[in-house]
A and B are shown apart, each in its own frame.
Chain A
Amino acid sequence: MTDILNAIVALSNFVLIPGAAYGAQLALGALGVTLIYGILRFSNFAHGDTMAFGTMATILVTWGLQSMGISFGFLPTALIALPVGIAITGLLLLGTDRAVYRFYRKQKAAPVVLVIVSIGVMFVMNGLVRFIIGVGDVNFADGARFVINARQFREMTGLDEGLAIRSTTLITLITAAIAVALLFWFLNKTRTGKSMRAFSDNEDLALLSGINPERVVAVTWLIVAALATTAGVLYGLDKSFKAFTYFQLLLPIFAAAIVGGLGNPLGAIAGGFVIAFSEVLVTYAWKKVLEYLLPENLEPSSLVQLLSTDYKFAVSFAILIIVLLFKPTGLFKGQSV
C-alpha cells in the first residue's frame, strides 16, 4: 500500500505536476498562435520571440521594482511587473501591425506571404531582445521557492517519496487558469469578443454586419500580447529566461495549436496539455515508479526512459504527424484556410 502511495507521489512529483505547469505554459502560447491564425489568418513565426520580448520587458520592470525595494512578499515581483510588461508588448505588437502587417492586410496578401513577413519580424524581435538583455541565462524568480518541499512532505506524510510543489508551478497553474477564464469570458460574453469570433468565423459577413476589422485586429494583438507575455513570464519563472529557448518553444506551441485545431481556442488548451504530458511521459525515467510498483525480481535495471530528454521535440512532432494523418483539422475542429 505505501508502495503504491510512494509511486503515486513520485509520479505526481516528476510527471503530473511539472507536466501540468508546462502544459499550462504551452496552452497560453498556443492560444496566442491560434487567435492570430483565426483573426489574421497566418501562422505567426514571431510568436516565440514575442513571448521572449514580453518576458524581457517584464524582467526589466521587475529589476526596476527590485531596485526601488519593492517586492511582492512570498510571490515573485515579476507578477507586479507583468501588467506593465503586457502593456509594453501590446504597444510593440500594435506598432508592428501598423508598420508591417497592415500593409499586407490591405493588399489581401496570401497567408504564406504573411508567414514570411512574420519571419522578418521574428528576426527583428529576436535581435531586439538579444540587443537589450543579451543572450545569457537570466533568473528573475524571487519570493518563496517552495510551497512545500520534499523534506517537509516526507515528514508530514511519513512516506519515502517527497512531493515538492514549487511556488512557480502553483503560480503558473493559477495564473494560467485566470488568464484562460478571462479570455473565454471576453470571447463569449462581451460584444467585442463576440465580434472577434464572428470575424474569425466569416470575415465577409462580419464586414456586412458592420464589424470594424481594424478594431478587431488591434484588440487581437493586445490579447496576444497579454497571452504571450504571461506565457513567457510563467515559463521564465519556472525555468529561466534565455532568448534562444523561447524561439525553440515555437515548435511545441505550434504543435499544440495544430493538434487542437488551428483557430480554435479550446483546442489550443487541450493541445497544450496533450503535447506537454506526452513530452514528459516519454522522456521521464520510469525506474523509480516501477520499483515501487513491481515485485523485487521484476524491478528494472535500466532507467526505463523511453527517449532521452533531448528528443522532446520528436514527441511534439510525432503527435503532430499522427493527428494530421488521422484528423487533419485537429482534435477540435479548426479552420482550414
Chain B
Amino acid sequence: MAEPHLIGEAMTGGYGRGADILHGCTLSVDKGQIAVIVGPNGAGKSTAMKAVFGMLNLRSGSVRIGGEDITHLSPQDRVAKGMAFVPQTSNIFPSMTVEENLEMGAFLRRDDIRPTIEQVYDLFPILRDKRRQAAGELSGGQRQQVAVGRALMTQPSVLMLDEPTAGVSPIVMDELFDRIIEVARAGITILMVEQNARQALEIADTGYVLVQGCNAYTGTGAELMADDEVRRTFLGG
C-alpha cells in the first residue's frame, strides 16, 4: 500500500511534563479523502489533532506528510508545508472583520490573496455579505465558516478540523458537512474530529474511534457504522 498523504504514526505524548494522554495512537488519511475521529469526551481527540499539528511534544511516534518526516517542525513550519488547522475553541479573531480574519489566515503568503478570498466567499456566500462585520458578532455557524475559511487561506493540502459543528443547529451542520465534502472534492485532504459521530461517519472515507488515547476501532466509515460493538457503545444503538 502506498504511503498515505498524512500520517501520525504511533504517537505517544502529553501536555508539558504531565502524564501521557496519547498512547501509540495512529491516524492517517489519503489524498483528497476525509478521515473522521470520533470517541467519548476526554478521549484525547483534540490532543491527537494538536499532536499531528505539532502543538505538543511527542515522546515517540512520528508525523509525516507526503512521505516527508515533519515530527520536529513547529506549527508555523507545518503551515508552510501545506497543513491548516481549525482549533476546537477560539478559532477566530473576534474583533476583526470577516475579511481581516481571512487576510490573517494568509499572513505568510506574499502573493495575491484576492482570488483565494473569492474562493472562500464562493464556498461560504454568507461571509461575502458579512465581510465588513466583526467576526465575533456573527452566529455560531457563521463563525465556524470564518474559522474554516481562515484555515483555507493558506491554500493547504491538508485541512484539520476539530469539531467544526460544535454548537451549531442541525440545519447549519448539514450545510457545513456539505461544504467540507466540497473542499475534499477539490483535492484537499481532511482530518476531522466530530461529536456527531453518525453523520460524520456517513461522509468519512476512514473512521477512527479513539478511547483513552488509543485506537479502539479503525475502518471505513461504513464498516464502523455496521459494527455492532461500535454502534452500541459510541453511536447510541
The reply to whether A and B meet directly (CB within 8 Å) is yes
A interface residues (Cβ-Cβ under 8 A, vs B)? 191, 194-195, 197-198, 200-202, 204-211
Q: Which of A197, A201, A202, A211 contacts B107 (CB 8 A)?
A: A211
Q: In angstroms, how far is the closest chain B Cβ from the Cβ of A140? A: 39
Check B85 for interface membership: any CB of A closer than 8 A. yes
Q: Which of B91, B104, B150 contacts A211 (CB 8 A)?
A: B104
**How many angstroms from the CA of A207 to the CA of B193 in the assembled complex?**
22
B interface residues (Cβ-Cβ under 8 A, vs A)? 75-76, 79-80, 85, 87, 90-96, 100, 103-105, 107-108, 150
Q: In angstroms, how far is the closest chain B Cβ from the Cβ of A184? A: 14
Most chain B CB atoms below 10 A, which of A191, A204, A208, A210: A208
**How many angstroms from the CA of A210 to the CA of B76 in the assembled complex?**
5
**How many angstroms from the CA of A200 to the CA of B104 in the assembled complex?**
13
**How many angstroms from the CA of A123 to the CA of B94 in the assembled complex?**
37
Contact, CB under 8 Å: A201 / B79: no
**How many angstroms from the CA of A194 to the CA of B106 in the assembled complex?**
12
Q: In angstroms, how far is the closest chain B Cβ from the Cβ of A287? A: 46
Instruction: Give chain B residues whose Cβ lies under 8 Å from the Cβ of A211.
Output: 104, 107
A198-B96 contact, Cβ under 8 Å, with A208-B79, A209-B107, A209-B108: yes
Give 5 nearest A-B pairs by CB, closest first.
A210-B108, A201-B93, A198-B104, A209-B107, A198-B93
Contact, CB under 8 Å: A201 / B103: no
Contact, CB under 8 Å: A202 / B76: no
Q: Which of B85, B90, B91, B103 contacts A194 (CB 8 A)?
A: B103
Instruction: Give chain A residues whose Cβ lies under 8 Å from the Cβ of B104.
Output: 194-195, 198, 206, 209, 211
**How many angstroms from the CA of A205 to the CA of B101 in the assembled complex?**
10
Q: Which residue of A lies closest to B151 (CB)?
A: A208
Instruction: Give chain B residues whose Cβ lies under 8 Å from the Cβ of A191.
Output: 103, 107
Q: A198-B93, A198-B96, A209-B150 are in contact. List 5 more A-B contacts (CB 8 A).
A: A194-B96, A197-B96, A202-B92, A204-B90, A208-B87
Q: Which residue of A lies closest to B109 (CB)?
A: A210
Q: In angstroms, how far is the closest chain A Cβ from the Cβ of B215? A: 26
Q: In angstroms, how far is the closest chain A Cβ from the Cβ of B105? A: 6
Contact, CB under 8 Å: A201 / B87: no
Q: In angstroms, how far is the closest chain B Cβ from the Cβ of A215? A: 11
Contact, CB under 8 Å: A205 / B92: yes
Contact, CB under 8 Å: A205 / B93: yes
Q: In angstroms, how far is the closest chain B Cβ from the Cβ of A209? A: 5
**How many angstroms from the CA of A4 to the CA of B108 in the assembled complex?**
61
Q: Which residue of A lies closest to B53 (CB)?
A: A208
Q: In angstroms, how far is the closest chain B Cβ from the Cβ of A41? A: 15
Contact, CB under 8 Å: A210 / B107: yes
Q: Which of A197, A200, A205, A207 contacts B91 (CB 8 A)?
A: A205
Instruction: Give chain B residues whose Cβ lies under 8 Å from the Cβ of A205.
Output: 87, 90-93
Q: Which of B75, B76, B92, B107 contacts A195 (CB 8 A)?
A: B107
13 A-B contact pairs sorted by A residue (CB < 8 Å): A191-B103, A191-B107, A195-B107, A198-B107, A201-B93, A201-B94, A202-B92, A204-B87, A205-B90, A205-B92, A206-B104, A208-B79, A211-B104
Q: Which of B79, B90, B96, B103 contacts A210 (CB 8 A)?
A: B79
Most chain B CB atoms below 10 A, which of A191, A195, A200, A201: A201
Q: In angstroms, how far is the closest chain B Cβ from the Cβ of A309? A: 38
Instruction: Give chain A residues whose Cβ lies under 8 Å from the Cβ of B90.
Output: 202, 204-205
Contact, CB under 8 Å: B150 / A201: no
Q: In angstroms, how far is the closest chain B Cβ from the Cβ of A288? A: 45
Q: In angstroms, how far is the closest chain A Cβ from the Cβ of B210? A: 22
Q: Which residue of A lies closest to B135 (CB)?
A: A201
**How many angstroms from the CA of A201 to the CA of B92 in the assembled complex?**
9
Q: Which residue of B lies closest to A264 (CB)?
A: B95
**How many angstroms from the CA of A284 to the CA of B38 in the assembled complex?**
68
Q: Which residue of A lies closest to B80 (CB)?
A: A210
**How many angstroms from the CA of A195 to the CA of B106 in the assembled complex?**
11
Q: Which of A198, A200, A201, A207 contacts B75 (CB 8 A)?
A: A207
Q: In angstroms, how far is the closest chain B Cβ from the Cβ of A37? A: 14
**How many angstroms from the CA of A210 to the CA of B150 in the assembled complex?**
12
**How many angstroms from the CA of A198 to the CA of B99 in the assembled complex?**
12
Instruction: Give chain A residues whose Cβ lies under 8 Å from the Cβ of B91.
Output: 205
Contact, CB under 8 Å: A208 / B75: yes
